[in-house]
A = this chain, B = another copy of it.
Amino acid sequence: MALYVQKYGGTSVGSVERIEHVADKVKSFHDAGHQVVVAVSAMSGETNRLISLAKDVTETPDPREMDVLVSTGEQVTIALLSMALQKRGVNARSFTGWQAGMKTDNAYMKARIENIDTDAMRKQLNDGGVCVVAGFQGIDDDNNITTLGRGGSDTTGVALAAALGADECQIYTDVDGVYTTDPRVVPNAKRMEKITFEEMLEMASLGSKILQIRSVEFAGKYKVPLRVLSSFAEGNGTLITMEENSSVENPVISGIAFNRDEAKVTVKGVPDIPGVASKILVPVSDANIEVDMIVQNVSEDGTTDFTFTVHRNDYHKALDVLRNTAAELNAREATGTDDICKVSMVGVGMRSHAGVASQMFKVLADENINILAITTSEIKISVVIEEKYLELAVRALHSAFGLDADSDAN
Contact = CB atoms under 8 A, between A and B. Distances in A.
Contacts of A286: none
A53 B16 contact: yes
A62 interface: yes
A322 interface: no
Contact of A80 (B54, B87, B94, B143): B54
Contacts of A94: 64-65, 68
Interface residues of A, number: 36
A64 B91 CA distance: 13
Interface stretch (A4-12, A70-78, A239-247, A355-363): A70-78
A69 B79 contact: yes
Interface of A: 16, 19-20, 50, 53-54, 56-58, 61-62, 64-66, 68-69, 71-72, 75-76, 78-80, 82-84, 86-87, 93-94, 96, 98-99, 120, 143, 145
B143 A99 contact: yes
Given A57-B84, A62-B83, A99-B143, 9 more contacts: A19-B57, A62-B86, A65-B80, A65-B82, A68-B79, A69-B76, A69-B79, A72-B75, A120-B143
Given A19-B57, A58-B84, A87-B58, A96 B68 contact: yes
A56 B87 CA distance: 12
**Interface SS majority for chain A:** helix
A145 to B, nearest CB: 7
A95 B96 CA distance: 16
A56 to B, nearest CB: 4
Contacts of A65: 79-80, 82-83, 86, 94
A68 B78 contact: yes
Contacts of A143: 98-99, 120
Contact of A79 (B54, B80, B120): B54
A57 B87 contact: yes
A16 B82 contact: no
A27 to B, nearest CB: 14
Contacts of A99: 143
